Amino acid sequence: MPNTDAHVLRADWLEYVRALAPASVDLLFADPPFNTGITRSSPPSGARRGRVTSYRYTDAWSDAAAYIDWLRVRLTAALPALRPAANILIHCDWRADHHVRILLDQLLGPDRFVNHIIWSYGLGGSSPRRFARKHDDILFYSRDPAACHFDPPRVPATSRRLAGRVKKATDVLDIPSLNNMARERTGYPTQKPVALLELLIAACCPPGGVVLDPCCGSGTTLVAAARLGRTALGCDLNPRAVALTRRRLERERPGRTPARPRTP
């Protein structure tokens, strides 16, 4: 049964988490801007499919140190809201993963590191100058790795011996990114697939638990949490992201048929 009892607000991550009840969150998943140095915009190709093409968010800091300071303040503010054995997943890429890992070691302790997950998404072009970059990084820490919730996800086995069966997932997740044809595409820039968030939430948040996404964008985390019966909390600075998240959650209500997102 979906849990559409989600809470989403237009707010800065910093203010939002300060207002949360202490020790109330089982999983913090954050997919913040990656410090790409540009304004992220909706793919213009979405216009051909009737999608919104005017979503934007800023993704530029003066340098890596300023970006990590921004993240440090917000992660620190979120810690009191986490339960003693809560899990933390921070989604980033090659630009900042090394800095974010050091930050998490400093804030939580290196012994709280669990996994460096590779989200291998496949889509995109190749490069004549280097190996094509085809993955994001998801850093998995736990406040208490010995007591945290972890339910190993099952994925299709690839070996001939196990053909047609499933096996426990490794730290490399092969999940395609959303192509232009994908029905779940909203037009929001850097929208992640629900399949990725469903896998992570089912693995890292106990049934009936609380998931927090303080940079929720189009609301993918909240939709996945709702489908899995978890309570979702989210915020975003961008009011149009919050409006979009609310519409996506509304469509998760029992009896509602999925529809293409409309322009706010």
Ligand X SMILES: C[S@@+](CC[C@H](N)C(=O)[O-])C[C@H]1O[C@@H](n2cnc3c(N)ncnc32)[C@H](O)[C@@H]1O
Q: Is 238 in the site for ligand X (CB under 6 A)?
A: yes
Q: Which of 32, 46, 187, 261 binds ligand X (CB under 6 A)?
A: 32
**Separation of alpha carbons 125 and 131, rounded Å:** 11
Least separation in angstroms between residue 14's CB and ligand X is: 7
Which two tokens mark 62?
């003066």
Which two tokens mark 147?
């007591």
Least separation in angstroms between residue 168's CB and ligand X is: 25
Q: Is 195 in the site for ligand X (CB under 6 A)?
A: no
Pairing of strands 210-213, 25-30: parallel
Q: Which of 9, 107, 108, 237 binds ligand X (CB under 6 A)?
A: 237
**Separation of alpha carbons 128 and 105, rounded Å:** 35
Q: Is 209 in the site for ligand X (CB under 6 A)?
A: no
Burial 71-107 (b: 16+ CB within 10 A, else e): beebbebbbebbbeebbbbbbbbeebbebbbebbeeb
**Separation of alpha carbons 236 and 217, rounded Å:** 6
- Per-residue binding string, ligand X, 39-78, x by CB under 6 A, is ------------------x---------------------
Q: Which of 138, 148, 233, 241 binds ligand X (CB under 6 A)?
A: 241
Binding-site size for ligand X (CB under 6 A) equals 20
Site residues for ligand X per CB under 6 A: 12-13, 31-33, 57, 188, 190-192, 214-215, 217-218, 220, 235-238, 241
